[in-house]
A and B are shown apart, each in its own frame.
Chain A
Amino acid sequence: DVKVTQSSRYLVKRTGEKVFLECVQDMDHENMFWYRQDPGLGLRLIYFSYDVKMKEKGDIPEGYSVSREKKERFSLILESASTNQTSMYLCASSVPGLNSPLHFGNGTRLTVT
C-alpha cells in the first residue's frame, strides 16, 4: 500500500512565523501535490511537482513556497504565516497517468494565531 506521511497532524503557529509542512511518500511516485481544504471551498491546489527540484504553481500559491530536494519528500513552506492561512493542508502523490489516482496523507490542521 502507498503510504503518504505528513509530519504533523495538528500544528499551532504564531503570525509571522516561518512554517514548514513536511510530506513523505514511500512508493517512488513522480508527482506530488499540496492542497488546502477549507469548509465550503473544497480542495484547492497550492503547488505541485512532477520531479525532483521542479515545481509548478497551482491555483492559490500566494504566501507559499515548496521544496522538493528528494523524490520522496515535498515540503510546503509558509514564509510568514498569517491568520488566513489557518486551514487543513493535504499532501498527495501519484504516478503519471490520466487514470492515476492521488494517494493522500492524513492532513495537517494548521492554526495560526
Chain B
Amino acid sequence: AQTVTQSQPEMSVQEAETVTLSCTYDTSESDYYLFWYKQPPSRQMILVIRQEAYKQQNATENRFSVNFQKAAKSFSLKISDSQLGDAAMYFCAYRSRPGNTPLVFGKGTRLSVIA
C-alpha cells in the first residue's frame, strides 16, 4: 500500500522568510500525482499545488513551489515570503492510477508564522 510521510509535525517561520515542508512517499507505481493541501483554522481544505510524476519541471504557484525528486520519492513544499495567512496545517497527498483512486494523505505539518 502506498504511504505518505510528513516527518515534521510542527514548523515555524518568521514573516517574510522562506520555509520548506518535507514529504516522502512510498510507491512502486511510475505514473501518479502529488498534491499539497492547506487547512487554515477555518477548516476548509484548499489545494495549494499539484505535480505530475512524469513532469520533471517543478510546479510553482505564486509563492508556493515544490521540489520533486522522483528517484528519492520526495515532494517538498517551499513557501517564499511567508505571510501570516500561511499559518495552517499542510497535508501532502498522493494518487496513482486509476484516476478514481482516493487520495492518500500524510499526517500533516502545522505551520506557524511569527510576526
A: residues with CB less than 8 A from B are 30-31, 33, 35, 40-45, 48, 50, 58, 88, 90, 92, 96-102, 104, 106-107
Apart from A40-B107, A44-B105, list 8 A-B contacts with CB within 8 A: A45-B104, A98-B32, A98-B99, A99-B52, A101-B47, A101-B50, A102-B47, A106-B42
Residues of B close to A50: CB separation below 8 A: 100
A104 and B44 contact, CB distance less than 8 A: yes
A40 to B31, CA, bound (A): 29
Residues of A close to B47: CB separation below 8 A: 101-102
Residues of B close to A92: CB separation below 8 A: 45
B: residues with CB less than 8 A from A are 6, 9, 31-33, 35, 42-45, 47, 50, 52, 91, 95-100, 102-108
| Top-8 shortest CB links A-B | A42-B107, A104-B45, A43-B105, A97-B99, A98-B99, A101-B47, A107-B43, A96-B99
CB-based nearest A residue for B9:
A40
Given contacts A45-B102, A104-B45, A107-B43, contact A98 B97 (CB under 8 A): yes
A98 to B100, CA, bound (A): 7
Given contacts A40-B9, A88-B43, contact A31 B108 (CB under 8 A): no
Q: Is the interface of B mostly helix, strand, loop or mixed?
A: loop
Residues of A close to B97: CB separation below 8 A: 98
Residues of A close to B42: CB separation below 8 A: 106
- A-B contacts, 29 listed (Cβ < 8 Å): A33-B102, A42-B105, A42-B106, A43-B91, A43-B105, A44-B105, A45-B102, A45-B104, A50-B100, A58-B102, A90-B45, A96-B99, A96-B100, A97-B99, A98-B33, A98-B96, A98-B97, A98-B98, A99-B33, A99-B50, A99-B52, A99-B99, A100-B99, A101-B47, A101-B50, A102-B47, A104-B45, A106-B42, A106-B44
A62 to B45, CA, bound (A): 25
A98 and B102 contact, CB distance less than 8 A: no
Given contacts A40-B9, A43-B91, contact A102 B107 (CB under 8 A): no
